[in-house]
């Protein structure tokens, strides 16, 4: 018996599938979501209990593939063991719902971090000189190194500018329409990719 989906699940369930995505587009989307999760974990030190609550938000959702995909993620620490491209479209949609839930849960901290970046930037200071952002960058670098060690095809190193940009993105995904906004961004990102024929 499937319980009625939570409002978050209902919002994610209404996300349009859009056109069929190619494997490369799926790879790009997976990588994007991994970056968001890494940044979220680096900033918040995501607890197992919170992660399980996020999983329960989509567990009532009758998507067997999504369950299997998300269960492979486990705790964010297991993110390092997750292989890229393992999530199919339904799994991606479920993960979008989870990210939306987690960012809403940590919205206050995200806002605090973004405000700190704005203030230090306006004062022409290094944002990473603050304790919150300095710890965030250090942890993100460590997580990114571990992640890329197991996923050689992963994206390039996360620069400091990208680290700050991820905070801004997570903040916008923490709104009421965050899941739909993230889904739209993923589709736009996938559609803007161009594939050049490999040489030879």
Partner 1 sequence: MKLVRDSLLQRYTPPTCTLELWQVRPIWQPSPKTLPTDYHFALHFDDPRLAEDQQTTVTGTPSQLEALAQTVEDYVQTQLSRAFCPPPQGTATQRTVIEKPTQPNPLPPEGSNFALTPHSPFSHQLKVVPGDGVTAPSQAIALTTSQLFDLTTALTQFRLQVAASDSSATTDGTWGFWRWSTLALTSLVAIGVTGAILRQWQPGNEVVDQGISPLPGQGQFQFQPVMPAIPPPPRPTTASPTLAPPLALRDPLPPPATVVQASPPPRNPNVALVLPPERILPPTLTVPPGPDQTQMTIPASLPLSPLVPPDEPLPQGQTQPMENRQDDNAPSLASPSSLAPPPQVQTTALMSTSRRPLPPRSENLLDTIPQVAEVRQFYQRQWQPEVSQTPTLEYRLKISPDGQVQRTVPLGKAASLYLAQLPMPNAGDPLVSPLTHGQTETIRLVLTPMGEVKAFLED
Write the DSSP symbol of residue 63.
-
Q: How many residues does the chain have?
A: 200
Question: How far is Cα 112 from Cα 103, in angstroms, rounded to an integer?
Answer: 13
Query: Is 96 near partner 1 (CB under 8 A)?
Result: no
Question: How far is Cα 178 from Cα 101, in angstroms, rounded to an integer?
Answer: 9
How many of the chain's residues bind partner 1 (CB under 8 A)?
A: 49
Q: Which helix (H) or strand (E) holds 54?
A: helix 48-59
Site for partner 1 (CB under 8 A): which residue of 27, 57, 69, 103? 27
Query: Is 129 near partner 1 (CB under 8 A)?
Result: no
Would you say 4 or 192 has its CB closer to partner 1? 192
Write the DSSP symbol of residue 154.
S
Q: CB atoms < 10 A from the CB of 73, how many?
A: 21
Question: How far is Cα 177 from Cα 174, in angstroms, rounded to an integer?
Answer: 8
Sole window of 57-65, 66-74, 90-98, 187-195 interacting with partner 1 (rule: CB under 8 A): 187-195
Q: Which helix (H) or strand (E) holds 36?
A: helix 23-44
Query: Is 68 near partner 1 (CB under 8 A)?
Result: no
Report the SS3 class of residue 74.
coil
Would you say 58 or 117 has its CB closer to partner 1? 117
Query: Is 104 near partner 1 (CB under 8 A)?
Result: no
Site for partner 1 (CB under 8 A): which residue of 121, 126, 149, 150? 121
Site for partner 1 (CB under 8 A): which residue of 18, 83, 111, 142? 111
Nearest distance in Å: CB 2, partner 1:
26
Nearest distance in Å: CB 58, partner 1:
22
Within 13 Å and on the Cβ side, how many CA atoms surround 150? 12
Q: Which residues bind partner 1 (CB under 8 A)?
A: 24, 27-28, 31-32, 35, 44-45, 108, 111-119, 121, 132, 135, 153-156, 161-162, 164-166, 168-169, 171-172, 175-177, 181, 184-185, 188-189, 192-198
């Amino acid at each position: 018996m499937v319980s009625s989906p939570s409002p978050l699940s209902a919002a994610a369930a209404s996300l349009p599938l859009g056109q069929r995505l190619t494997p490369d587009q799926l790879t790009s989307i997976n990588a994007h979501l991994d970056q968001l999760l890494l940044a979220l974990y680096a900033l918040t030190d995501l607890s197992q209990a919170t992660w399980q609550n996020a999983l329960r938000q989509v567990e009532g959702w009758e998507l067997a593939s999504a369950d299997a995909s998300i269960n492979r993620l486990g705790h964010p620490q297991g993110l390092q063991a997750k292989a890229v491209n393992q999530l199919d479209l339904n799994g991606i949609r479920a993960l979008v719902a989870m990210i939306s839930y987690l960012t809403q849960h940590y919205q206050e901290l995200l806002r605090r971090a973004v405000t700190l970046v704005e203030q230090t930037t306006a004062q022409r200071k290094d944002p990473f000189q603050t304790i919150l952002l300095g710890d965030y960058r250090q942890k993100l670098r460590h997580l990114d190194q571990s992640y890329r060690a197991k996923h050689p095809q992963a994206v390039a190193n996360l620069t400091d500018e990208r680290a700050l940009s991820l905070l801004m993105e997570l903040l916008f995904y923490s709104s009421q329409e965050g899941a739909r906004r993230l889904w739209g961004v993923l589709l736009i990102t996938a559609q803007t990719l161009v594939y050049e024929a490999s040489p030879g």
